[in-house]
Structure 1
Amino acid sequence: MPRRFRLCLLLLGAAVVAACAQRPPAPPTAPEIAVDGGRLRGERGDGVEVFRGIPFAAPPVGGNRWRAPQPVTPWQGVREATAFGPDCMQLPFPGDAAPLGVTPAEDCLYLNVWRPPAADAAALPVLVWIYGGGYVNGGASPAVYDGSAFARDGVILVSFNYRVGRFGFFAHPALSAAAEGPLGNYGHMDQIAALQWVRRNIAAFGGDPGNVTVFGESAGGGSVLNLAIAPPAQGLFRRMAVMSGGGRSLMGPLRDLDIDRPGLPSAETVGMNFARGVGIAGTGPEALRALRALPAERVRGDLNLGSLMAAPAVAPTWAGGPFRDGPVVAATPEEAYAVRQAPLPVLIGSTSADIGFAFAADMEALFAPFGDAAARARALYDPDGSGDLRAVAARVGMDRTMTEPARYIAGRTTAAGGAAWLYRFGYVAEALRDRVPGAPHASEIPYVFQTLDARDGPAPSADDRAMAAAVHGYFVSFARDGDPDRAGLPHWPRYDAQQHALLEFGRTGAVTAGPDPWTERLDLIEAQAEAVSRDVD
């Protein structure tokens, strides 16, 4: 080959290489998965694969309103799974720490999966997230619930929607008479249906159906506790994490489906109150048809977290969330854990300035329920003698509603031979420390998910990101190994009833393990709770 011809070929090859170098890379091939409804096409990017808006039950509309979740109708071809389905019908709550990313609708039973790329052959641990919102708000679409960080760390994250408000927790004699299946707690039935979908399908995404951890915050945490003792949910998950999810019944006894009690009307009575308010009388098939024909906005009404706090008059037409129905909710977690012999491993805790309720006209009334320990309780809850009823009642209410109940669940789990890890999240973002005394309710969520950039407000500091890396790392370890303790992070001991050991995420970033500094005041709350329980018995 002549030298000049070889030189031309070399120059041509160099030109081709240069042109290719300037050409943008080809877009990644969209991942496809087959599930029991058909094929799905997700999207790949930023080191993860995401499948959004996957139907796990038929739309709960028309004749499916107030019915247990019904099977999905299979689809033909490949379904695009790149956008969230609608969040469940609700009136969004202004100021929500997790604002919805899509418009709510009654057709809402969709779930989402984040996974590492090309995870088909692996048996990866699975985390299933249940959002909070007081059983009247919430959805899977908020940006702070993005599962990418978990997927990058080798954990598949599943989130899903469940019916809230009167769509999710509702009873009426006409529904009972129709005998269409389990009654009342439709939101919990949705949660169980989503977990059943995970059991059937998660292996196709590379997940291990035998290594599923369910976690949730607030009403989501309360849901996790209810699912742990619900007969239809048994065997669907291996362990649980409960964030500010309660565990006691100090807010009052559980409402019954169809039994009116003094001062506590049944869920059916509450449903009839609502029906009368929208002009529907009777308890037969005509009433049921009329209820199911109501526009979704009419069923929703003005119900949300704001209206519940500002207008207690809504209470006669709202069941308040889960109630005792028998097949799904047969007892409170407190009742069940008092006798439970084989509890699931649990990671559980609350925040240092958590939500709580303690209604009293003055300080004397606030501490009177402590009986002979009233003076000691007052000294513990108001050590400076401020006499600030609102601030002191908030601390008492927090301990009654969240702090001590978390300790109760950890203690009962340990007493029954199970494993429990207790925490208190007190970290306050660096930009907020001069005006926020403690970590508010739900403030740990973006740290758990490592989604600090999704929050409103100042950009996260280096300390904020370090705290998020630590908290997230513990949850990854718990999902993967069943123990949150991990190398490179402060040791997280198991809970024990003698030391009341917990891991504390401190206000300014220290992470320390040791005896609970609030032990004495929580002991007083425990004694009060046990006295209430004896009175009820």
Structure 2
Amino acid sequence: MSKMLTRMAAVALLLAGAVPAFAADGPVAQIEQGRVAGVVSDGVAAFKGIPFAAPPVGPLRWRPPQPAAAWTGVRSGADYGADCMQKPLPGDAAPLGVAPAEDCLYLNVWAPADTATKPGAKRPVMVWIYGGGFVNGGSSPAVYDGSAFARDGVVLVSFNYRVGRFGFFAHPALVAEAGQGPVGNYGYLDQLAALQWVKRNIASFGGDPDNVTVFGESAGGMSVHMMLTSPLAKGLFSRAIIQSGAGRDRLLPTPPVHADGDAPSGEKAGVAYAAQHGISDAGPAGLAALRALPAEAVVDGLNMATMNTPTYSGPMVDGAVVRRSSPIAAYAAGEGADVPVMVGATGADGFFFGGTLDGVLAPFGADRDQALKLLDPDGTGDLKLIGHRAAGAFMFIEPARAVARLLTARAAPVYLFRYSYVAESMRKEWWGTPHATEIPFVFDTVKARYGTALTAADAAAAKAAHAYWVEFAKTGKPEPKGLPAWAPFKAGQDERLMEFGASGPVLEADPLKARLDLVEKVVEQNGKTASK
């Protein structure tokens, strides 16, 4: 019998007294921990709130994820589990749908409803990793709903991972406790545990464990870089999509877990945080006191607006999960998985935090005048616009091209994209496509994002973008029928990218090439200077 039980089989179990009544109303999946009942709507079976690891609370705070406990009977998959503990960011374009809590290691599966009638179905799997600067985010936002993927024949998985100090925290006592084990990057370890769960269990939902595409945006895209470069992720996926995942050094640098002298480190950030709460002991007693702190005290006001603080390190170079300070350093050294990759950014990506025109142009040195012409071709003199264009080029857009160029040295194809479509209702508000605004188009959840302001053109743009992502997951080639062909990116040969703009998808030479070439020159010059 298929691992996915039909309604008839569920009824039989009910009559035998094995499951509660709700299980008869939808498909029931048998996974390693027990049985879970899905909810069917519009041709999609959704299974939400499945624990993939034990609650990381009490003595499991700041430990690698541990196996989830088994259960008897049938667990309801009707509702999301809690998103991970954090201080939500006001005005987030992907607001959490449930309240955050420290007990948060849950995942969700959307599958075609007919999977129950097709034993042995091996549908492509996509695993989504949310962004949020490693301090915010969760799997419950409405724009992350996986129904459209399931309707198109893909099994979509999303999951939670620990963020902020719950997910990325080091301290001398933790290093001593871990011994030779991984320490510091608990959020990354959660991500790996979720991928391992998918490998072991996704066949129960009709998914193919050997055809998994991992994709994410912003911090989620950076996490995909981790998956591509970490030896611990080997064999867990077969292709990857990086949306605004940068690739060069992070805006907030990636420190080592330990560093001597005055150099920053994860341990030093942890010690500084502990001192703020009156904890000076660096041994077991201090660690016990840290684990006893209320969850709200661990958050301590941290979110994307306050993350630049000496008491929080973010992801660290730990030698196990993360071995280099930037993905590009790993790719340049020939490290990382050789799998098909899609990589790109949005047209108006990046964040400008204010300042002066001189400050924006200062990094360009003697090329200042050229930079101004490239950043302000119309001569508007608009500081905010110029600043955003420079920030986007440095933070996300040029790094995406640099990643594509490095990965073309490998056998697997690479596809570079830029998402520049702006919803019609926002064209008077935005000068371009801001960071993260491509997500509802990729998920085809634009109705949830724009509501009654959604237009036919917006819906069509979503259908097109979504089709490319789906086809890539199915075949490793983003070539949906009836849409423009997308040739692989070839460094120095065919450097065209797929532009998702107002005119629809167009494969073209990069219109920002001159701007990005200048940014690349600046980055490489600074790198050489720093290495002297």
- Normalised by the size of structure 2, how large is the TM-score? 0.91
Moved more, 333-342 or 276-285: 333-342
Tell me what 2:146 maps to: 147
Q: Which amino acid aligns with 1:237?
A: F
Tell me what 1:329 maps to: 322
Structure 1 residues 348 and 107, CA, compared in 2 at 3 Å: closer, same or farther?
same
Residue by residue over 1:418-456, the C-alpha shift from the partner in whole angstroms, topping out at 9 and shown as x without a partner, is 311111111111122223211111111111111111115
Moved more, 220-229 or 340-349: 340-349
Contact 2:47 2:77 in 1 (8 A): yes
| The one of 411, 416, 425 aligned to 1:422 | 416
Residue by residue over 1:39-81, the C-alpha shift from the partner in whole angstroms, topping out at 9 and shown as x without a partner, is 1111112101111111100000000000000011111121112
Q: Which amino acid aligns with 1:74?
A: A
- Normalised by the size of structure 1, how large is the TM-score? 0.90
State how far apart, in whole Å, the 2-side matches of 1:244 and 1:407 are.
11
Contact 1:90 1:304 in 2 (8 A): yes
Moved more, 70-79 or 281-290: 70-79
Contact 1:267 1:323 in 2 (8 A): yes
State how far apart, in whole Å, the 2-side matches of 1:36 and 1:28 are.
20
Q: Which amino acid aligns with 1:348?
A: V
State how far apart, in whole Å, the 2-side matches of 1:303 and 1:214 are.
27
State how far apart, in whole Å, the 1-side matches of 2:250 and 2:23 are.
55
Contact 1:467 1:509 in 2 (8 A): no
Structure 2 counterparts to residues 8-87 of structure 1, below 5 A: 29-87=25-83
Tell me what 1:446 maps to: 440
The DSSP-based 3-state class of the residue aligned with 1:135 is coil
Structure 1 residue 412 and structure 2 residue 411: aligned? Answer: no
How many Å apart are 1:509 and its aligned residue?
3.7
How many Å apart are 1:220 and its aligned residue?
0.4
Structure 1 residues 112 and 27, CA, compared in 2 at 3 Å: closer, same or farther?
closer
Q: Which amino acid aligns with 2:282?
A: T
How many Å apart are 1:179 and its aligned residue?
2.1
State how far apart, in whole Å, the 1-side matches of 2:29 and 2:463 are.
31
Q: Which amino acid aligns with 1:211?
A: N
Q: Which amino acid aligns with 2:273?
A: F
The DSSP-based 3-state class of the residue aligned with 2:50 is strand
The DSSP-based 3-state class of the residue aligned with 2:454 is coil
Residue by residue over 1:334-360, the C-alpha shift from the partner in whole angstroms, topping out at 9 and shown as x without a partner, is 11011226532111111111123577x
Moved more, 337-346 or 56-65: 337-346
Q: Which amino acid aligns with 2:316?
A: F
State how far apart, in whole Å, the 1-side matches of 2:187 and 2:529 are.
31
Q: Which amino acid aligns with 1:533?
A: G
Structure 1 residue 522 and structure 2 residue 516: aligned? Answer: yes
How many Å apart are 1:493 and its aligned residue?
1.7
Q: Which amino acid aligns with 1:96?
A: D
Q: Which amino acid aligns with 1:189?
A: L
Aligned Cα root-mean-square deviation (Å) = 1.8
| The one of 334, 349, 355 aligned to 2:350 | 355
State how far apart, in whole Å, the 1-side matches of 2:31 and 2:469 are.
27
Contact 1:357 1:401 in 2 (8 A): no
Structure 1 residues 536 and 254, CA, compared in 2 at 3 Å: closer, same or farther?
farther
Q: Which amino acid aligns with 1:209?
A: P
Structure 2 counterparts to residues 91-106 of structure 1, below 5 A: 91-106=87-102
Tell me what 1:461 maps to: 455
The DSSP-based 3-state class of the residue aligned with 1:213 is strand
Residue by residue over 1:66-111, the C-alpha shift from the partner in whole angstroms, topping out at 9 and shown as x without a partner, is 0000011111121112111000000111111111111100000000
State how far apart, in whole Å, the 1-side matches of 2:71 and 2:252 are.
46
State how far apart, in whole Å, the 2-side matches of 1:528 and 1:86 are.
44
State how far apart, in whole Å, the 1-side matches of 2:376 and 2:52 are.
50
Structure 2 counterparts to residues 160-175 of structure 1, below 5 A: 160-175=159-174
Q: Give structure 1 regions of 4+ aligned residues with deviation exceeding 4 angstroms.
A: none
State how far apart, in whole Å, the 2-side matches of 1:490 and 1:516 are.
16
Q: Which amino acid aligns with 2:414?
A: A
State how far apart, in whole Å, the 1-side matches of 2:77 and 2:334 are.
41
Tell me what 2:17 maps to: none
How many Å apart are 1:29 and its aligned residue?
3.5
Contact 1:358 1:396 in 2 (8 A): no
The DSSP-based 3-state class of the residue aligned with 2:408 is helix
How many Å apart are 1:378 and its aligned residue?
1.7
How many Å apart are 1:372 and its aligned residue?
3.5
Contact 1:67 1:186 in 2 (8 A): yes
Tell me what 1:504 maps to: 499
Tell me what 1:435 maps to: 429
Tell me what 2:155 maps to: 156
Contact 2:352 2:384 in 1 (8 A): no
Tell me what 2:279 maps to: 280
State how far apart, in whole Å, the 1-side matches of 2:261 and 2:378 are.
42
Tell me what 1:395 maps to: 389
State how far apart, in whole Å, the 2-side matches of 1:260 and 1:458 are.
56
Contact 1:216 1:223 in 2 (8 A): yes
Stretches of structure 2 lacking an aligned partner (at least 5 in a row): 1-21
How many Å apart are 1:511 and its aligned residue?
2.1
Contact 1:160 1:194 in 2 (8 A): yes
Name which one, 1 or 2, has greater alpha-carbon Rg.
1
Q: Which amino acid aligns with 2:306?
A: S
Tell me what 1:19 maps to: none
Moved more, 208-217 or 364-373: 364-373
Tell me what 2:198 maps to: 198
State how far apart, in whole Å, the 2-side matches of 1:365 and 1:238 are.
43
Contact 2:131 2:219 in 1 (8 A): yes
| The one of 340, 346, 350 aligned to 1:345 | 340
Tell me what 2:360 maps to: 366
Tell me what 1:14 maps to: none
Tell me what 2:471 maps to: 477
Structure 1 residues 280 and 456, CA, compared in 2 at 3 Å: closer, same or farther?
farther
State how far apart, in whole Å, the 1-side matches of 2:88 and 2:26 are.
33
Structure 1 residue 109 and structure 2 residue 105: aligned? Answer: yes
Identity %, equivalent residues: 53
Q: Which amino acid aligns with 1:198?
A: V
How many Å apart are 1:362 and its aligned residue?
3.6
The DSSP-based 3-state class of the residue aligned with 2:369 is helix
Contact 1:162 1:190 in 2 (8 A): yes
State how far apart, in whole Å, the 1-side matches of 2:353 and 2:425 are.
30
Contact 2:43 2:114 in 1 (8 A): no
Contact 1:250 1:400 in 2 (8 A): no
